[in-house]
């Protein structure tokens, strides 16, 4: 994965600029990335936004795969994950032993590996709450992106939303219905909304601006 030669790179750089402006103006450090339903591309957006943010000088980024029902962050980065967040929650594994660099400077991933059908119970554990607070306070210059389960599929994201500074809502063009989007916005009513991303747009991707030579 990389953004340097990708035609979508400018889109993620624009998203990065928007997110960074809000983080700095409002003194935020943590953003939950959510979607109304599965397969809207929230993990794709999380990964690429993280890369774009990490390209910013002096800005470190941590991605936490908190979708315990369907962890996909490691797959998105092409990582061979041996241990994940669930290992930390129900064993004595140290957080430092789980953090992985996916090959990008200033970027670290806390991946998921195993899945569970009682994810809300795990996310509600005091150990998980303490972990989030520790990650937020350990490095003042670090931005943390949490990839959370879809809003309308489980109550996982809503239970954990108070621990984040803001949410980024990812919707899929042609799939997410107006009702689903409105329901999601209503659920996030008491949460700071950092923005909404329209993923898998059917429109053409504009080419980046290029200087033109004249004779």
Kindly state the percentage of the chain with pLDDT values over 90.
60
Residue-wise pLDDT tens digits, 132-156: 988 988 877 899 999 999 999 988 8
The pLDDT assigned to 206 comes to 47
Q: Is the pLDDT of residue 125 over 80?
A: yes
**Are the beta carbons of 166 and 147 closer than 8 angstroms?**
no
Least confident of 46-55, 90-99, 165-174, 178-187: 90-99
Question: What's the pTM value of the predicted model, to 2 decimals?
Answer: 0.88
**Are the beta carbons of 3 and 103 closer than 8 angstroms?**
no
Q: What is the mean pLDDT of residues 196-208?
A: 67
The pLDDT assigned to 59 comes to 80
Residue-wise pLDDT tens digits, 25-54: 999 999 999 999 999 999 999 999 999 999
Q: Kindly indicate the confidence band of residue 202, based on its pLDDT and cuts at 50, 70 and 90.
A: low
Query: What span, in angstroms and rounded, lies between the C-alpha atoms of 8 and 201?
Result: 11
- Residue 198 DSSP one-character state: E
Span 9-199: which CATH code? 3.40.50.300
The pLDDT assigned to 65 comes to 96
Task: Write the DSSP assignment of 130-153 as a string of letters.
Answer: HHHHHHHHH-TTEEEEEE---TTT
Q: Residue 121 to residues 57, 140, 155, 189, 196: CA-CA distances in angstroms?
A: 38, 29, 10, 23, 28
Name the strand (E) or helix (H) holding 19: helix 9-26
Q: Kindly indicate the confidence band of residue 200, based on its pLDDT and cuts at 50, 70 and 90.
A: confident
The structure tokens listed for 74 are: 């490691």
The pLDDT assigned to 159 comes to 87
**Are the beta carbons of 66 and 119 closer than 8 angstroms?**
no
Q: Position of tokens 């660099």?
A: 101
Task: Write the DSSP assignment of 51-98 as a string of letters.
Answer: HHHHTSTT-EEEEEE--TTS--HHHHTT---S--HHHHHTS---GGGT
Residue-wise pLDDT tens digits, 74-103: 999 999 888 999 999 888 888 999 999 999
The pLDDT assigned to 6 comes to 58
Query: What span, in angstroms and rounded, lies between the C-alpha atoms of 197 and 215?
Result: 41
Characterize the bridge pairing of strands 30-34 and 142-147. Answer: parallel
Query: What span, in angstroms and rounded, lies between the C-alpha atoms of 175 and 177?
Result: 6
Least confident of 20-29, 74-83, 117-126, 204-213: 204-213
Kindly state the percentage of the chain with pLDDT values over 70.
89
Query: What span, in angstroms and rounded, lies between the C-alpha atoms of 61 and 104?
Result: 10
Contacts of 182 by beta carbon, 8 Å cutoff, 6+ apart: none
The pLDDT assigned to 7 comes to 56
The pLDDT assigned to 35 comes to 97
CA-wise closest residue to 79 among 60, 62, 103, 61: 103
The pLDDT assigned to 111 comes to 95
**Are the beta carbons of 164 and 146 closer than 8 angstroms?**
yes
């Amino acid at each position: 994965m990389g953004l340097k030669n990708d035609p979508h790179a400018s889109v993620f750089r624009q998203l990065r600029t928007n997110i960074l402006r809000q983080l700095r103006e409002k003194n935020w450090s943590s953003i939950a990335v959510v979607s109304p339903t599965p397969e809207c591309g929230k993990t794709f957006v999380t990964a690429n936004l993280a890369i774009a943010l990490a390209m910013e000088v002096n800005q470190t980024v941590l991605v936490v795969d908190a979708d315990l029902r369907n962890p996909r962050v490691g797959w998105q980065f092409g990582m061979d994950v041996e241990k994940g967040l669930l290992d930390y929650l129900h064993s004595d594994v140290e957080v430092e032993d789980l953090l992985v660099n996916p090959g990008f400077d200033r970027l670290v991933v806390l991946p998921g590996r195993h899945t569970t059908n009682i994810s809300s119970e795990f996310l509600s554990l005091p150990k998980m709450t303490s972990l989030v607070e520790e990650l937020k306070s350990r490095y003042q210059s670090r931005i943390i992106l949490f990839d959370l389960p879809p809003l309308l599929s489980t109550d996982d994201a809503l239970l954990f939303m108070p621990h984040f500074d803001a949410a980024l809502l990812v919707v899929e063009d042609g799939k997410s219905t107006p009702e689903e989007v409105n329901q999601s916005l209503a659920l996030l009513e008491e949460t700071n909304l950092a923005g909404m991303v329209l993923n898998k747009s059917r429109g053409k991707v504009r080419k980046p601006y290029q200087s033109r030579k004249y004779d």
